[in-house]
Amino acid sequence: GQQVMQIPQYQHVQEGEDFTTYCNSSTTLSNIQWYKQRPGGHPVFLIQLVKSGEVKKQKRLTFQFGEAKKNSSLHITATQTTDVGTYFCAGPNNQGGKLIFGQGTELSVKP
Amino acid sequence: DAGVIQSPRHEVTEMGQEVTLRCKPISGHDYLFWYRQTMMRGLELLIYFNNNVPIDDSGMPEDRFSAKMPNASFSTLKIQPSEPRDSAVYFCASSLKGINSPLHFGNGTRLTVT
């Protein structure tokens, strides 16, 4: 079946270092969404990308959607302790009714 | 806006007991989703509703699971009988336009079945 895969599963960084998580889909996506879940919390929507090759920025976060609309990335510049959490990408399934979540990348930041 | 409201926050029950989880979506959102989150399987979609009608329940693991949405402001997820392997965090989420608009998640219910 359709899969959305994320790497790495875990990332430990020193505060101030950059961080990138990658998302790959087995099929072409109409859009991709990114969510952040703090420890003990619930997923919170960050952004949605729709266009091929789209790049969007939110302060220190940069999101990209691949040209083939099968992959995406989230890059955080100069991480802070407030960035700690698990970052999920999610894309619609082929039938368009379900949002399939990747397994997430857990980010820890050492002060 | 109060956001998506779930209750209870925590539920501890013994194997074989009935468990009912509750959700109040954001007013005006036509779509409601029930997800289950575990370390092993991540976030899994169990079922979703559009305008109170169940559209896809293919993620419901077994007949022990059932979900209802009697009106636009309330949904329940019931497990009867519960088993230890049902232990997980259950999230309810709502959205304005289905999966092409952001999902707003509730705080979740952490279920422990002993």
- Which has more confidence, B100 or A22? A22
Please give the C-alpha separations between residue A7 and each of A95, B49, B106, in angstroms, as whole numbers: 25, 31, 26
Task: Please report the pLDDT score of residue B51 as a whole number.
Answer: 95
- Which has more confidence, B113 or A26? B113
- Give A89→chain B minimum CA distance, Å: 11
Task: Report the distance separating Cα B94 and Cα B50, nearest Å.
Answer: 10
For residue B98, pLDDT over 70 is answered with: yes
Averaged pLDDT score across all residues of chain B: 95
For residue B1, pLDDT over 70 is answered with: no
Task: Please report the pLDDT score of residue A96 as a whole number.
Answer: 66
List of chain B residues whose C-beta atoms are within 8 Å of the C-beta of residue A97: 48, 55-56, 98-99
Query: Residues A52-79: what's their mean pLDDT?
Result: 97
For residue B84, pLDDT over 80 is answered with: yes
- Give A109→chain B minimum CA distance, Å: 21
Q: Which of A15-19, A94-98, B78-82, B98-102 has the lowest mean pLDDT?
A: A94-98
Task: Please report the pLDDT score of residue B99 as a whole number.
Answer: 83
Task: Please report the pLDDT score of residue B47 as a whole number.
Answer: 96
Classify residue B26 by its DSSP letter: P
Sign of the CA dihedral running B3, B8, B10, B14: negative
Contact B102 A45 (CB under 8 A): yes
List of chain A residues whose C-beta atoms are within 8 Å of the C-beta of residue B106: 42
- Portion 67-86 of A in contact with B at CB < 8 A: none
Query: Residues B1-27: what's their mean pLDDT?
Result: 96
Classify residue B23 by its DSSP letter: E
For residue B45, pLDDT over 80 is answered with: yes
Closest residue of chain B to A33, computed from CA coordinates: B102
Q: Which residues, in sequence order, are CB contacts of B45 under 8 Å at separation 6+?
A: A98, A99, A100, B33, B34, B35, B56, B59
Task: Report the distance separating Cα B20 and Cα B67, nearest Å.
Answer: 9
